[in-house]
Structure 1
């Protein structure tokens, strides 16, 4: 099971009513989502109170108050449900604080792509998502880690962190939208100067050496199915799907990206697929590289070790999911 698929065990088949009565806290990223479709904090609080039949407070993300810090504060203050209202980066930040606790995490889709919330079966319309969340139950899920830092959807190294830098620039100029995000992919790919020499070890057994522009570790079956990629069932069964692109220059990458957008990507032609629970990627003489995690980027020290934290996060999942 991956981070989008609940672990079905009898002792965890609790209903939403089991967590009602405890206060609800929403971690709201005011920069996420479109202003015309996003409720203001007071309206959001009222809708949450009605859906959960419980008090609800709003904590807003800012430069000095990260999603992780605000969620840690909410845990100390005794909230039983903490809802991440934002994009996948905001959700991952809240999840980082809630792992290995009894506090349940809810999600409201206010990002650009909302892969995590869509994978849970939540509608993208905010009022509908709040109503669905109020009828949800907390269930344990697996979480991906790279060098100890968590991710819910994916983590990658190579050209994708460059795409994120380009995306941030375009967002500031044109605003957040899926069209802008797609354009940043094409623009970022053209900035590739040279591929990377990687040594990849999967589950301590399979070792390969590959010259590639991108290593992409997927932990979301929903995201893979959205692009008609192989590996979704393996992710549901509790493994990572590692994609190593066969492209080594920007022209090949753009051709592969166009196939991805058209859902015509083929295993073997555009990429090599490896399946495993523990993955280590070495980058030769490089000491540090940029790593992308759920749409956020940071520099990490090599080698890069990917593993699963089983049942580490309790997530509010619609009862029909």
Structure 2
């Protein structure tokens, strides 16, 4: 169901400015590899990467992250070294790893490459980058930096970026439960789907939110200064066309126009929640009356209560953290320079 609204809002400047000059990429490849991502053997993947890059004559360094909680620091140091030497920082891992390295690369304007190793690989698949190491290395070695839109969420103290999605409420809980199940049963798709089913079977707390959004041309926006009261088990903001299309969200095409897509569920019981899960699996979630969907350029989210706790659990690309309301969603003002094949080459592979 499409969101109702009032006056049309102004469009924000997309973070994919075609006129911006891409960074130089004639330096080394600084590879950040998360040894905990994916089900593959980290040592063999690292050795294959080193072998291929050596054969190609590309100077490179590989940083293997083995301790939890250190990926941000390692990524920031890798980006600093890549920028100083006109190189490329490369993330090897799942969506969370790609997010951590992208955050540092975006801030510094550093070229960014990916060798995806995660469960669903939405970011890589969107940009025609395979989970197969050799195929992804082909793109890394032959590709050029191209601007890619990044979403961002900010509070008064910090800012986080997201390549695929950001969310509040039920979805962060689902992600935390999924990691618990993966730790016990392995990083497989059936484990992720089973953990989601178990999470949805439980009773869910409803978020009470005040939301104001700017939708951009062709969409209804909240009037300037107006807020909409919303009760929902989860608020989801998507920045990945492939994921949204797989769910059956018609607004997915708005991402190409420099916007994000927000989804919220009306308060529903467990039975209806399972029905929505089935609709999503069949690619028909957008048809459900219980789903509110809107394409937007910006959105501010507050707790409905004027007083009380302001902390909110937020997930960005599968990584969960606490932030302080109000939260401000939007498109990052500058692009991420992703190493990818030219559009005609992507079409030839597809």
What is the TM-score normalised by the length of structure 2?
Answer: 0.82
Higher relative contact order (CA 8 A, sep 6+): 2
Match of 1:68 among 72, 75, 85: 72
Residue 290 of structure 2 corresponds to residue 270 of structure 1? yes
Please show how residues 154-303 of structure 1 align to structure 2 within 5 Å.
154-203=165-214, 205=223, 207-285=227-305, 286-303=309-326
The whole-number CA distance in structure 1 between the counterparts of 2:201 and 2:99 is: 29
| Worse overlay, 172-181 or 68-77 | 68-77
Deviates more, 1:175-184 or 1:279-288: 279-288
Q: Which moved more, 1:98-107 or 1:197-206?
A: 197-206
What do the CA deviations read for 1:78-134 (whole angstroms, capped 9, x no partner)? 351011000110001001111132421000110111111111111221111111221
SS in 1 for 2:329: strand
**Residue 138 of structure 2 aligns to a residue in which SS?**
helix
Gaps of 5+ in 2: 1-14, 215-221
Partner of 1:58: 62
Query: Counterpart in 2 of 1:304?
Result: 327
Contact persistence 2:165–2:316 (CA under 8 A): yes
Deviation at 1:181, TM superposition (A): 0.8
Partner in structure 2 of residue 316 of structure 1? 339
The RMSD of aligned alpha carbons is: 2.5
Match of residue 25 from structure 2: 19
SS at match of 1:192: coil
Distance 1:196 1:37, change over 3 A: same
Residues paired across the two proteins, number: 314
Deviates further, 250-259 or 63-72 = 63-72
Query: Which of these residues, 15, 18, 43, is aligned with residue 48 of structure 2?
Result: 43
Q: 2:153 maps to what in 1?
A: 146
Alpha-carbon separation, structure 2, partners of 1:36 and 1:293:
26
Deviations 1:52-92 (A, max 9, x none): x3111110113266332112212333351011000110001
Q: Distance in 2 between matches of 1:234 and 1:167?
A: 29
Contact 2:166 2:237 in 1 (8 A): yes
**Structure 1 residue 6 displacement after superposition:** 6.2
Structure 1 length as normaliser, TM-score?
0.89
Distance in 1 (alpha carbons) for counterparts of 2:303 and 2:69: 34
Name the CA shift for 1:81/1:283 in 2 (closer, same or farther; >3 Å): same
Q: Is the 8 A contact 1:159 1:192 kept in 2?
A: no
Contact 1:100 1:312 survives alignment (8 Å): no
Q: Distance in 2 between matches of 1:142 and 1:10?
A: 13
